Amino acid sequence: MNRQQFFIKTWLSVLFLVSVGLVPIGVHGVEVVIGGGPGTLDWEQQFSEISVIDFAANPGQIQPDQTGSADNLALKILESGGSITSPNARIVLEISTSELDKRLKSMISGDTTDAFEIKGVNATGIIINIDMGERFGINRIRFGTRTGFEEFAIGGFSIFLNDGSQEQTTLAGTPDFRLFKTLERNVDPVIDLDVPLQFVRFIQLKQLVRGEWEIDEFEVFGEGFVSAASYTSKVFDQGQAAVFGGLTWSAGAIGEPTKSSVVLSTRSGTSADPSDSLAWSPWSPPLPAGVLTDIVSPAPRRYFQFRFLFESSDILSAATADSLIFEVSPAIADSLQGEISPQNAFIGQNTTFTYAVRAFDSNGFDRLKIETLAPVDTVHSVEIDGVEVPFEKTDVDDGVEIGFERIVGNKTLQVVFDNIALQYNTVFSGKVSDSQRPDRLPQSIGAGDVVPGPLTAGDDLSVTILVGKDLIHSMEIAPNPFTPNGDAVNDELQITYDFINLTDVAPVLVRVYDLSGRLVKDIYSGLDSSRRYQRTWDGTNNGGDRVVPGIYLVRVEVDTDAGTKSRTAVVSLVY
């Protein structure tokens, strides 16, 4: 069972455990579950900062706010990080900045007993700027006087709108307002304007006619979803230095899925205050939904935080987030530093490397996993503080795992092994784990100076290699000939090939042809990157029938920007 399958199985166990009030602790440490149903942590109780997030529409998940036709969005302006200001009213009214702020806010308070008043002065051109805080779908604007003060209706006005986009922003970074409505003579105490449904963030009201006037409530209505929203979690305090494992979460969509998105990022810190940039890492690249992904934020760290960012280009569409789970456990060591030597090698050539790890204040570990693109055929030796010790080697999908006697405290581990570098600037990432403490997550090794002297040419875990010309560095087939007659001896042909220097994944085909060039078997079609691969042919054709004895051609093709590259090998099939 692979790690993805194990995590899914653990996830189902977690849902059961939390439903009966137990704390889930397993071989992957502690699983923290948010929005997973009864007994799990609640989204509404786990945030430090939100912007226009709806918790109630679909219990157990979060999504951007959705506006109903009766919702007065102006009441959410301050909550959404918006504002109401005037560049010139304070001078006209001869009041303090704080008093002006108080009077302007009365327009969006919902209190119909207070109003913003321009009285006792004879001025025109008063401007009121409203920042909604976010881009909302708006279709109606309404404002007017208090009941009993109808004589103070604004005599004339212009309304300008701006959607808050880059396209409607000036070079100076200010809103480039677009005229929506001008009414040069007005006697109506209440102005009610229908607006074609559109995203709006900024609204500007400009007085055009001299006279005394007031505005009681400035109301904004609309429908659909806000164009951007965010959810930042609280700071999770582990109480001590901790490591983070896998994370998975679910995403959904309302309306047109292609017109909305939500991304999740994480960060970690050594202080409780995430505003301390020296103590906290930047936000990580987005973590995909629906799959188990390793948390890449630095560890060991005591503090952890995550953030969702929602966006939509369509008023009636929105993304949703649901059921987040992440792994965390106490650190195995205060620090793990590693380096590899030599730090230069010929691409595709078998090279003997020394991998050194220095543990500081380790609580104990007895396994080292080294990630490699090609299999590690030979481990020559393992030393702890210069003394050679017995070891066991286990091949894994993405490298090799080595077991040894348990290391506690401050010690240096050195492993000598053979490997083939298949990509320019190959990084040999490593993690240590403790078989005696399955509740502790594996801890990553950071680059650092481990052994003074020639070994520490770069004090890191990367190897720079001399670049070769062929993308398909090598190709081998065995056994040759092979005999797929069902006797369990040489029944399958193993096709092994190495890709080097692919900068990204590339389309690959592995096929078998007869000597006339006719296609016999599609063995593999997919996307490969730089590493070693092994495919198998069982001697059948695409119809599932055994092929006749003879000579066949096995071909590996890779499609790159520079064209199609291929290598071909000849195999004999006999019975």
pLDDT given for residue 488 in this prediction = 85
Cα four-point dihedral sign 416, 419, 421, 427: negative
3-state secondary structure of 178: strand
pLDDT given for residue 565 in this prediction = 83
Instruction: Give me the count of residues in the chain.
Output: 575
CB 216 within 8 A of CB 146: yes
pLDDT given for residue 27 in this prediction = 42
pLDDT given for residue 29 in this prediction = 65
CB 201 within 8 A of CB 151: no
- Copy the structure tokens of residue 502: 């692919």
pLDDT given for residue 479 in this prediction = 92
pLDDT given for residue 125 in this prediction = 94
CA dist list (Å): 306 to 204, 296, 326: 36, 12, 10
> How many CB atoms are closer than 10 A to CB 380?
11
pLDDT given for residue 342 in this prediction = 87
pLDDT given for residue 26 in this prediction = 37
| CA distance linking residue 29 with residue 7, whole number of Å | 12
Query: In 208-347, where do the E strands start and end?
Result: 213-215, 218-222, 224-225, 228-233, 236-254, 260-269, 293-294, 301-312, 318-330, 335-341, 344-346
| CA distance linking residue 387 with residue 377, whole number of Å | 23
pLDDT given for residue 470 in this prediction = 64
pLDDT given for residue 374 in this prediction = 77
User: Phi and psi (nearest 5°) for 350?
Assistant: -65, 125
For 3-63+232-330, give the CATH class: mainly beta
3-state secondary structure of 455: helix
- Copy the structure tokens of residue 213: 């006037």
pLDDT given for residue 146 in this prediction = 96
pLDDT given for residue 37 in this prediction = 78
pLDDT given for residue 25 in this prediction = 35
Domain ranges of the chain: 3-63+232-330, 73-222, 335-466, 472-573
Regarding the domain delimited by 73-222, which CATH topology (the fold level of the hierarchy) does it fall under? Jelly Rolls (2.60.120)
* Predicted model pTM: 0.70
Q: Please choose, from the candidates 44, 51, 54, 49, the residue with its C-alpha nearest in 3D space to the C-alpha of residue 228.
A: 51
Q: How far is CA 211 from the centre of its chain?
A: 56
Structure letter (DSSP) for residue 41: B
Domains 335-466 and 472-573 belong to one CATH topology: yes
CB 321 within 8 A of CB 443: no
| CA distance linking residue 314 with residue 356, whole number of Å | 53
**CATH 3.40.50.2020, domain 472-573, yes or no:** no
3-state secondary structure of 42: coil
Q: H or E segment at 87?
A: none
- Copy the structure tokens of residue 528: 């490969």
| pLDDT tens, N- to C-terminus, the chain (575 residues) | 444 443 443 443 333 333 323 333 334 468 999 998 788 999 999 999 999 999 999 988 999 999 988 999 999 899 888 999 999 999 999 999 999 999 999 999 999 999 999 999 988 999 999 999 999 999 999 999 999 999 999 999 999 999 999 999 999 999 999 999 999 999 999 999 999 999 999 999 999 999 999 999 999 999 999 999 999 999 999 999 999 999 999 999 999 999 999 999 999 999 999 999 999 999 999 999 999 999 999 999 999 999 999 999 999 999 999 999 999 999 999 999 999 988 877 766 788 999 999 999 999 999 999 998 778 889 999 999 999 999 999 999 889 999 999 999 999 999 999 987 766 567 889 999 999 998 899 999 988 888 766 544 557 888 876 555 567 877 889 998 899 988 888 899 999 988 877 777 889 999 999 888 889 999 999 998 888 899 999 999 999 999 999 989 999 999 887 778 888 888 989 98
Q: How far is CA 373 from the centre of its chain?
A: 24
- In the CATH scheme, what is the code of domain 335-466? 2.60.40.740
Q: Please choose, from the candidates 393, 374, 380, the residue with its C-alpha nearest in 3D space to the C-alpha of residue 474.
A: 374
